[in-house]
Structure 1
Amino acid sequence: MKVMITFHALVSPALLAALLIPLTLLFLWLEWKRKNRFLVLRWIAVIVMMAMAASLFLRPVVTSKKNSSILLLTPGYEKGKVDSLLQHYPDLQLWHLTGAAPYKKSSPLADHELTIRGDQLRFVTGEGLPATDLDLLDNKTFTFIPNQPTAGITSLSVAQPVLAHHPAQVQGTFYCATPGKKWIAIKGPNEKEDSVLVEGPGPRSFQLSFTPKQKGEWLYTLAVRDSTEKWQEEKLPVYVEADAPLRLLFIQDFPTFETQYLKNYLAHAGHKLTLRYQLSQKIFRFEFANRQPTQINRLTHDVLEETDLLIMDDGALQKLSAGEKNILKASVHAGLGVLILPHATKTKPDDLFPFILTPVKTDSATIALQGKAITLPALPARLQNNSTVQSLVQNKSGILTGYAFSGAGKLGFQLLQETYRMTLSGDSVGYGAFWSPVIEKLSRRATQASSIQITTPFPWYTDEPLQTTLLSSQPNPTLFADTTQLPLREDERLDDAWHGQLWAGTPGWHSLQTDASSLHYYVSEKGSWNSLRQNAQREQNQLVSTTGDSSGEQVLVQKELPALYFFLALVAAAGFLWFAPKL
Structure 2
Amino acid sequence: MLPHLPPYLTWFVAAIVILLLIWLAWRRPNRRHLIWRVAASIVAGASLVCLLFPPTYQKAIDPATAILLTENYNQDTLNTLVEHTNASPLLFSYKAKASRGATPVPDLYTLRQQQPGLQTIHLLGQGLETQQLEALKGLQLVPHLNTAPAGIYALHWPESVKAGEALVVAGRFKGTSTKATLYLQAAGTLQDSTAMAGDSSTTFKLRFIPKQKGLFVYNILSKEEEHPDTIGQIPVLVEEPTALRVLLLAAAPLFEFRFLKDYLAQQQHQVAIRTSVSKDISQSEWLNMPQTSLEKLTPALLQKFDIVITEPELLQKLTQAERTALQKAVSESGLGVLTIAGEQINRSSATSFFTSFGARRVGQQDTRTTRASWATLQATLTALPFAFVKDDAVSAIVEDQNGLLLAAGRKAGWGTVAVTAIPQTFQWQLESKQSTYNSYWAHVLSAVARKEVKESFWQLLPSRIPKPNQPLTLAYTNYALAGASGVPAATILSLADSSKANPSFAQDAMQPERFTTTFWPRQSGWHKAEAPEAEPYYFYVQDTTSWKFADLQAKQEAVAAFIAQQHVVSAATPLAYTKETIPLIWFFCLFVMSSGFLWLEEKL
Closer, same or farther in 2 for the Cα pair 1:490/1:287, shift >3 Å? same
The CA deviation at 1:319 is 1.4
Match for residue 547 of structure 2 among 501, 508, 529: 529
Q: Deviations over 1:433-467 (max 9, x none)?
A: 43333211211111111221112454322222111
Aligned partner of 1:554 in structure 2 is 573
Distance in 1, matches of 2:345 and 2:91, equals 72
Paired residue type of 1:336: L
Q: Distance in 2 between matches of 1:261 and 1:460?
A: 45
* Structure-1 residue corresponding to 2:246: 248
User: Of residues 304, 310, 313 in structure 1, which corresponds to 2:311?
Assistant: 313
| Partner residue, 1:393 | 398
Residue 436 of structure 1 corresponds to 442
In terms of mean alpha carbon deviation, does 528-537 or 297-306 score higher? 528-537
Residue 252 of structure 2 aligns to a residue in which SS? coil
Q: 1:397 to 1:105 in 2, by over 3 A?
A: closer
CA distance in 1, matches of 2:158, 2:317: 39
**Deviation (angstroms), 1:164:** 1.1
Aligned partner of 2:222: which letter?
Answer: V
The change in CA–CA distance for 1:305 and 1:551 in structure 2 (over 3 A counts) is same
For 1:351-370, what aligned pairs fall within 5 Å after superposition?
A: 351-360=353-362, 361-362=364-365, 363-364=367-368, 365-369=370-374
How many angstroms does 1:509 deviate by? Answer: 0.8
In 2, the alpha carbon distance for the partners of 1:114 and 1:518 equals: 44
Match of 1:165 in 2: 164
Q: Counterpart in 2 of 1:481?
A: 492
* Structure-2 residue corresponding to 1:573: none
Q: CA deviation at 1:181?
A: 1.9
Cα drift, residue 166 of structure 1: 1.0
1: CA distance, partners of 2:164 / 2:121: 53
Distance 1:489 1:136, change over 3 A: farther
Confirm or deny that 1:109 pairs with 2:108: no
1:72 aligns with 2:74: no
Q: Distance in 1 between matches of 2:472 and 2:296?
A: 52
Aligned residue for 1:13?
A: none
1:166/1:432 contact within 8 Å kept: no
Q: Indicate conservation of the 8 Å contact 2:459/2:476, yes or no.
A: yes
SS in 1 for 2:264: helix
Cα distance 1:152–1:351, how it changes in 2: closer, same or farther (>3 A)?
closer
TM-aligned CA distance change 1:330 to 1:235, over 3 Å: closer
1:249 and 1:557 map into 2 onto residues whose CA distance is 82
Shift of the 503–548 alpha-carbon distance from structure 1 to 2, 3 Å rule, reads closer
Partner of 2:10: none
How big is the shift at 1:302? 1.4
Quote how far apart the aligned CAs of 1:147 are: 2.2
| Structure 2 partner of 1:222 | 220
Report the Cα distance in structure 2 between the residues aligned to 1:487 and 1:376, rounded to whole angstroms. Answer: 56
Q: Please tell me whether the aligned partners of residues 67 and 551 of structure 1 are also in contact (alpha carbons under 8 angstroms).
A: no
Cα distance in 1 between the residues matched to 2:476 and 2:149: 34
Task: Assess if the C-alpha contact under 8 Å between 2:163 and 2:209 holds in 1.
Answer: yes
Contact 1:72 1:121 in 2 (8 A): no
Contact 1:159–1:168 at 8 Å: present in 2 too?
Answer: yes
C-alpha contact (below 8 Å) 2:220/2:231 kept by paired residues: yes
Give the structure 2 partner of residue 23 of structure 1: none
Using the TM superposition, name which of 541-550 and 501-510 deviates more.
541-550
| 2:588 corresponds to | none
In 2: Cα distance, 1:310 partner to 1:283 partner: 20
Q: CA deviation at 1:274?
A: 1.3
Change (3 A) 1:239 1:209: same
State the alpha-carbon separation in 1 of the partners of residues 270 and 462 from structure 2: 38
Q: Give the Cα separation in 1 of the matches to 2:507 and 2:572.
A: 40
CA offsets per residue over residues 381-404 of structure 1, 9 Å max, x none?
333233332232234584321122
Aligned counterpart, 1:142: 141
2:381 equivalent among 356, 376, 384: 376
What is the Cα deviation at residue 193 of structure 1? 1.6
Residue 313 of structure 2 aligns to a residue whose secondary structure is helix
Partners of 1:507 and 1:525 within 8 A in 2 = yes
- Structure 2 unaligned segments of length 5 or more: list them: 1-58, 494-499, 579-604
- The CA RMSD measured in Å over matched residues stands at 3.2
Match of 1:562 in 2: none
- For residue 68 of structure 1, give the secondary structure of its aligned residue in structure 2: strand
CA distance in 1, matches of 2:135, 2:266: 54
Is 1:538 matched up with 2:538? no
User: Aligned partner of 1:132: which letter?
Assistant: Q
Aligned match of 2:82? 86
What is the TM-score with the length of structure 2 in the denominator? 0.74
Equivalent residue for 1:14? none
* Per-residue CA distance 1:153-197 (angstroms, 9 max, x = gap): 222211353111111101122332x21221111111253221111
Q: Please report the TM-score for the alignment, with normalisation by the length of structure 1.
A: 0.77
Alpha-carbon contact 1:124-1:143 (below 8 Å) kept = yes
Mean Cα deviation higher: 518-527 or 427-436: 427-436
- Secondary structure of the residue that 1:318 maps to in structure 2? helix
Q: Does 1:512 align with 2:510?
A: no
Contact 2:231 2:547 survives alignment (8 Å): no
Q: Could you give the per-residue CA deviations for residues 531-581 of structure 1, whole angstroms, max 9, x where no partner exists?
A: 43234433443454469999764279999xxxxxxxxxxxxxxxxxxxxxx
Q: What code does the residue aligned with 1:168 have? A: L
Decide which of 416, 420, 425 is 2:426's aligned counterpart: 420
Q: Which residue of 2 aligns with 1:331?
A: 329
8 Å CA contact 1:382, 1:397 repeated in 2: no
Q: Which residue of 2 aligns with 1:5?
A: none
3-state DSSP of counterpart to 1:245: coil
| 1:270-291 deviation per Cα after TM superposition (whole angstroms, max 9, x unaligned) | 3221122122334332333332
Distance in 2 separating the partners of 1:461 and 1:472: 27
Q: Which residue number in structure 2 is paired with residue 124 of structure 1?
A: 123
| Structure 1 stretch displaced more, 469-478 or 335-344 | 469-478
Unaligned runs of 5+ in 1: 1-62, 560-583
Does 2:230 correspond to 1:232?
yes
C-alpha spacing 1:137/1:302, structure 2 compared with 1 (3 Å): farther
Structure 2 residue 471 is the aligned partner of structure 1 residue 465: yes
2:164 partner amino acid: H
1:570 aligns with none
| Residue correspondences, number | 498
Q: Do 1:470 and 1:498's aligned partners in 2 also have CA atoms closer than 8 Å?
A: yes
Q: For residue 366 of structure 1, what is the amino acid of its counterpart?
A: R
Which residue of the partner structure matches residue 263 of structure 1?
Answer: 261
Equivalent-residue separation in structure 2 for 1:261 and 1:422 (angstroms): 10
Q: Which amino acid aligns with 2:321?
A: G
Which segment drifts farther, 391-400 or 472-481? 391-400
The CA distance in 2 between the partners of 1:187 and 1:463, in whole Å, is 27
